[in-house]
Structure 1
């Protein structure tokens, strides 16, 4: 419940993003034109994920959530320079970049979590490592991806949901798996620190 409560903020941001495009005086911009269809695909994917999860279609849910992540994240990476140099008070930063970066951040942490959950359910994790170690490997990979993407986008809207998800894992596993729990907490700290450095120290750098 704690971890998924972030969807309230994500939905609010996406509603603002939708209203931004619906207003007659919105006009066109590079970011709106370039991210319109990718965001549409991602939102359709999120809806499909809810259906596949409800129907317990485990493999399909993994495909859908990774496709949703890539549909929005790859275009944002290609627009990295435009995103970095958009001013803090620009409407595109507040009503396009922040909502979509936050959504991409949540999907960045949710997609590998979905994958390892499905692999565990199918008992498909290689026996060379324990499930806890595999989970920590996934946390480490997600952290590296988060750092790399944060360096390109340089907006805190992206790493905050990732750190939120890691803290959720810390809370959920504090009693039954303290090793994984504190690994997730450490990852949350690292993601926020690097995200803050990139955002406030390097954001204006082209």
Structure 2
């Protein structure tokens, strides 16, 4: 009985977290008045805020992520998922990611740029924890694979590149003016780090969704550097190379997972 009560509390808390996330997204994005994200923090979070900022259309992925998280929230609330061991392990963490997701927009709208970096770093860490926990058990059904692994994988992959962009925006604001001469060098160096971490993550997690989401952001980063300000062909090329490498690594990871599953059977 006690375990059942805890399960119900977890399900209810997840619903509450999703509601908070959606309300915060509505308020924080300026959809009901206030400042749009592009204009927040003196434009630091816009597509021209740094060399590592994706072009505007990249952010349309949030619609897919939110849709996936809403579907997950409904799915996890079903009675059949109440005693799902995967949900017992990950449910509270996923709820935390939705709270942090909403909190980032509120922070960007009403607080300071350094605090947005802190919040998004916590969000990335929580999502990484979710992905590690999900890897411990395989999904039992395709709906579970889509709404749990897929939705959270996209969230993790996008927040990975968003963390890079957010941090770059902050550093651009506080860095000495003469650092601008080396901006391209720093941008390529950061993308090299993203490459190493992203490929390692794809091969360890053996999932394609995070790689696709990060590659999506990197592709639009390249578009932004080729067609907008600040312009940088070098950064754009580096972004494209990293994006392709991540997708390849994601595919290799999935193939390895399937091969391992077939061998175990």
Q: Which residue pairs with 2:158 in the alignment?
A: 106
For structure 1, the 5+ residue unaligned runs are none
Given that residues 154 and 198 in structure 1 are in contact (C-alpha distance below 8 angstroms), is that contact kept between their aligned partners in structure 2?
A: yes
- Matched pairs, number: 203
TM-score, scaled to structure 2: 0.70
Residue 200 of structure 1, CA deviation: 2.2
Q: Which has the larger radius of gyration?
A: 2
| Cα distance, 1:7–1:73 mapped onto 2, change above 3 Å | same
The alignment yields a C-alpha RMSD, in angstroms, of 2.2
> Does 2:97 correspond to 1:45?
no
Q: Distance in 2 between matches of 1:100 and 1:120?
A: 30
Q: Which residue pairs with 2:174 in the alignment?
A: 122
For residues 118-157 of structure 1, the aligned pairs below 5 Å read 118-123=170-175, 127=179, 130-157=182-209
Deviation digits for residues 28-56 of structure 1 (CA, Å, limit 9, x no counterpart): 22321111111111111111110121236
For structure 2, the 5+ residue unaligned runs are 1-55
| Cα distance, 1:181–1:191 mapped onto 2, change above 3 Å | same
Give the secondary structure class of the aligned counterpart of 2:209: coil
Q: Which residue pairs with 1:61 in the alignment?
A: 116
Q: Distance in 2 between matches of 1:125 and 1:81?
A: 47
Q: Which residue pairs with 1:191 in the alignment?
A: 246
Give the secondary structure class of the aligned counterpart of 1:28: coil
Residue 136 of structure 1, CA deviation: 1.2
| Cα distance, 1:185–1:24 mapped onto 2, change above 3 Å | same
Deviation larger for 56-65 or 145-154: 145-154
Q: Distance in 2 between matches of 1:107 and 1:126?
A: 29
Q: Which residue pairs with 1:181 in the alignment?
A: 236
